[in-house]
C-alpha cells in the first residue's frame, strides 16, 4: 500500500470518527433527544437508506462486464455464504440482543462505504470496477438475511413477510431492476435519490455517536467485542486470502476480495439494533472498536496482497 493509499484510508477513518464525535456532543448537549434519536433512526431506515441502496445499484452494467467480473462475483457470493454460516453457528452462547448484532455485523461489513474508495486508491480504476461488482451480493444479503436477524415473529411466514416488505428490501429489488435493465431515471429523480442517499454515512455516524454518549467507554473493549473484531478484521480476510491462493486466483482479484473482506462492522448494525430492539449499546461498541482497529489491519492486508 503506497503512502497516498494510507493517507486516504486515514482520512476516511478520521472523517467517521469526527462525525461520531459530533453525534456524541449533540446527544450530550441535548440537541439529539431520546425521541429525536428514534425519529432519526426511522428517517434513516425508511427514506435515506433505501435511496442509498437504489443509487448504489445505478452503475454501468452489461453482459461483457458480467462475464469479465464473474470470478469476483463468485468470490463475493462464497464469502457471503461463509459469513452467513459463521453467523449461524458461532454465536449460540451469546445472549439475545447481542447475538443478532454479532450475526448481522459478521455478514455485513462497512465495505459498502469504505470499499470503493480504498479499492480505487490501492488497485486503480480496474480495482474500483471489481469492488463495485463485489458489493452486489453483500448488499443483497445485507437487506435480506441481514434484516431477518433483527426481525422476530411467532412463525416463519410472518418473518418472511416482514423482511420482504422492508423498505430496504424493496429498494434492493428496484436497484437490481435498474441495474439489469440499464434504465436511466430522469435527471431530477436520480439527483434526488443521490443527494438523499448521500446523507447515509453522516446520519448513521450521528446516531452511533448519540448512542455512544450513553455507553461507559471503559466497557468498549471486552472479550466478546475483541473476539468479534478479530474475526471480522483478521480471520475472515485470512480465509479469503488463503482460498484465493489455493485456487490461484488472479492477484488483482485476490487483493480486492481480501481487502474488502477485512472491512470493519457496518454502521447499519447500530441503526437496525436501535430500530428493532437489539442491543444498540453493544452494537455501537462493535462498530467503534472494529473501525478504530481497522486503521491498523487494513494497511497490513493491502501490503500483504501487493507483495
Question: Cα 17 from chain centroid?
Answer: 16
Cα diameter, the chain: 55
Decide if 48 contacts 167 (C-beta within 8 A): no
- At 124 the pLDDT is 78
Q: Which residues contact 160 (CB under 8 A, 6 or more apart)?
A: none
Q: At 130, list the grid cell.
A: 471489481
At 215, the pLDDT band (50, 70, 90 cuts) reads: confident
pLDDT at 196 over 90: yes
- Write out pLDDT tens, residues 69-104: 788 889 999 999 999 999 988 898 899 889 999 999
Q: How many CA atoms lie within 13 A of 143 on its CB side?
A: 26
pTM of the predicted model as reported, rounded to 2 decimal places: 0.82
Q: At 44, list the grid cell.
A: 434513516
Q: Which residues contact 37 (CB under 8 A, 6 or more apart)?
A: 27, 207, 210, 211, 274
- At 163 the pLDDT is 72
DSSP three-state, residue 109: strand
Please, what are the domains in the chain?
3-306 (1.20.1530.20)
Decide if 124 contacts 135 (C-beta within 8 A): no
Amino acid at each position: 500500500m503506497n503512502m497516498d493509499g494510507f493517507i486516504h484510508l486515514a482520512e476516511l477513518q478520521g472523517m467517521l470518527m469526527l462525525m461520531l464525535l459530533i453525534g456524541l456532543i449533540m446527544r450530550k448537549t441535548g440537541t439529539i433527544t431520546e425521541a429525536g434519536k428514534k425519529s432519526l433512526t426511522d428517517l434513516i431506515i425508511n427514506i435515506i437508506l433505501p435511496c442509498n441502496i437504489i443509487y448504489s445499484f445505478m452503475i454501468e452494467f452489461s453482459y461483457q462486464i458480467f462475464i469479465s467480473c464473474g470470478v469476483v462475483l463468485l468470490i463475493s457470493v462464497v464469502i457471503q455464504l461463509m459469513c452467513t454460516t459463521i453467523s449461524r453457528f458461532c454465536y449460540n452462547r451469546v445472549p439475545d440482543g447481542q447475538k443478532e448484532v454479532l450475526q448481522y455485523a459478521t455478514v455485513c461489513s462497512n465495505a459498502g462505504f469504505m470499499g470503493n474508495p480504498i479499492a480505487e486508491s490501492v488497485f486503480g480504476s480496474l480495482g474500483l470496477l471489481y469492488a463495485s461488482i463485489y458489493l452486489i451480493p453483500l448488499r443483497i444479503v445485507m437487506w435480506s438475511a441481514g434484516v431477518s436477524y433483527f426481525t422476530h415473529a411467532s412463525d416463519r411466514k410472518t418473518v418472511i413477510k416482514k423482511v420482504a416488505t422492508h423498505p430496504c428490501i424493496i429498494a434492493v429489488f428496484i436497484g437490481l431492476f435498474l441495474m439489469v435493465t440499464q434504465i436511466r431515471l430522469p435527471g431530477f429523480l436520480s439527483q434526488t435519490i443521490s443527494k438523499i442517499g448521500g446523507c447515509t454515512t453522516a446520519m448513521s455516524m450521528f446516531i452511533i455517536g448519540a448512542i455512544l454518549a450513553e455507553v461507559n467507554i471503559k466497557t468498549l473493549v471486552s472479550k466478546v467485542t475483541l473476539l468479534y473484531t478479530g474475526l471480522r478484521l483478521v480471520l475472515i480476510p485470512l480465509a479469503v486470502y488463503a482460498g484465493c491462493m489455493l485456487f490461484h486466483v488472479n492477484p488483482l482479484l485476490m487483493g480486492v476480495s481480501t481487502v474488502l473482506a477485512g472491512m470493519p462492522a457496518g454502521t447499519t448494525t447500530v441503526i437496525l439494533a436501535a430500530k428493532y430492539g437489539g442491543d444498540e449499546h453493544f452494537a455501537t461498541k462493535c462498530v467503534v472498536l472494529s473501525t478504530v482497529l481497522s486503521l491498523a489491519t487494513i494497511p497490513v492486508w493491502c501490503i500483504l496482497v501487493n507483495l
